[in-house]
Amino acid sequence: MRPDNRPIGVFDSGIGGFTVLNRLKQALPTESFIYVADNANKPFGDKSSAQILRINDNIITYLLSQEVKLIVIACNTSSAIALKHDKRLYPVPFVDMLLDGLWFAQILGPRTKVGVIATKATVASHAYEKTLLQYNPHIEVLQNACPKLVPLIEQYAFAPKQTTINNPELEEAIDEYTLPFKDHDVMILGCSHYPHIQKNIELALPSIRVIDPAEYVTKRVKEHIEIMGFSTLKPFSKFCYTAAEATLEANAKHLGFESFERIQLGTVSKS
């Protein structure tokens, strides 16, 4: 097989997709990555479907201009709303947080009670529920929208090794959003921001298995790269962002990006 030295593109609204990228870099140490954080338009979770499609179009057009060989949609909202649109329009393989992140549901036992916490837009799309039941019609799925979590998570500069965060407002929000799931078997983190606070969530749900779909997304990406060809060049990572933001840049530095660039993609209003 010939090597494919083109980079892999990854995108999200901010630091959420870092949880996905961190797993990718560990699993694929020879690959290069271009990460786009469209933080000028964050959070994606409060946008309409039409706005999400425009945001995706802008980001994907940029990544294709950088000649990426594969794009990872490291945002659950974009995966839920825009995946079919993206696959129809753009000549590049996509790996997403739903179809590629939830295939583990096939091995869950009948009547397993599965909880999903996600953004308002993801929950409203019912994409998680539909995808999980598509993989396994014998499980029970309950969703809960968590609009307070992403703004709280975005405030922090995270150490490379995850720890619990001692913040009363965050703890109160987690308790509120996880209350309906106390009798569940599995909790899925349906937003790529949430693994940053996974240890806090596990403390709130000590008897429940908490799953980060990025684990399964990473396996799918590796399968694609094995077919397309691994890179043989010295790996690099480039961080692109759309608005100056000290906390975001601090988190990017923790993840070891070598190159930083502010890019113009266009803003989408909340209304």
Q: Which amino acid is residue 190, in one-letter code?
A: G
**Residue 206: beta bridge partners?**
none
**Dihedral, 65, 266, 189, 147 alpha carbons, nearest 10:** 180
Q: Is 75 a catalytic residue?
A: yes
Buried-exposed string 121-148: b where 16+ CB fall within 10 A, e elsewhere: bbbbbebbeebbbebbeebebebbbbee
146 is catalytic: no
Q: For tokens 């403390």, what's the residue?
A: 203
CA 257 to chain CA centroid, Å, is: 18
From 21, 75, 197, 201, the catalytic residue: 75
User: For residues 188 and 217, is the Cβ–Cβ distance under 8 A?
Assistant: no
Q: Are strands 70-73 and 33-37 parallel, antiparallel or unpaired?
A: unpaired
The structure tokens 């509120």 sit at: 176
User: Are β-strands 113-118 and 186-189 bridged in parallel, bridged antiparallel, or unpaired?
Assistant: parallel
Q: Catalytic: which of 71, 150, 191, 252?
A: 191
- Show which residues are catalytic: 75, 191
